[in-house]
Structure 1
Amino acid sequence: MTAEVSKRVAAWRKVVAGILFIIPWILYMLLPIYNTVQPELGGVPFFYWFQTLWLVISSILFIIAVLLLYPSKR
Structure 2
Amino acid sequence: MTATPPDTKPPVITPSRVIAGLCLLAPFVALLWVNSYSRLTPRFIGIPFFYWYQMAWVPVAAALTYAAYLLVRREERVRKGGAGK
Interval containing the TM-score (normalised by the shorter chain): 0.7 to 0.9
- Structure 1 counterpart of 2:82: none
Higher share of residues assigned helix = 1
Q: Which has the larger radius of gyration?
A: 2
RMSD over aligned Cα atoms: 1.7
User: Which of these residues, 48, 51, 56, is aligned with residue 48 of structure 1?
Assistant: 51
* Matching of residues 11-22 of structure 1 within 5 Å: 11-22=14-25
- The yes-or-no answer on 1:34 pairing with 2:6 is no
Q: Which runs of 5+ in 2 are unaligned?
A: 1-11, 78-84
- One-letter amino acid of the counterpart of residue 48, structure 2: P
Q: Which runs of 5+ in 1 are unaligned?
A: 1-7
- Structure 2 counterpart of 1:62: 65
User: For this pair of structures, how many residues does the alignment match?
Assistant: 65
Instruction: With the length of structure 2 as denominator, give the TM-score of the two structures.
Output: 0.69
After superposition, the C-alpha distances for 1:2-39 in whole angstroms (9 at most, x for unaligned) are: xxxxxx8x711111101111111111111011011111
Runs ≥4 residues deviating over 2 A: none
Q: Displacement, 1:67?
A: 0.4
Task: Flag the structure with more relative contact order, 1 or 2, with Cα contacts below 8 A and sequence separation at least 6.
Answer: 1
Instruction: With the length of structure 1 as denominator, give the TM-score of the two structures.
Output: 0.78
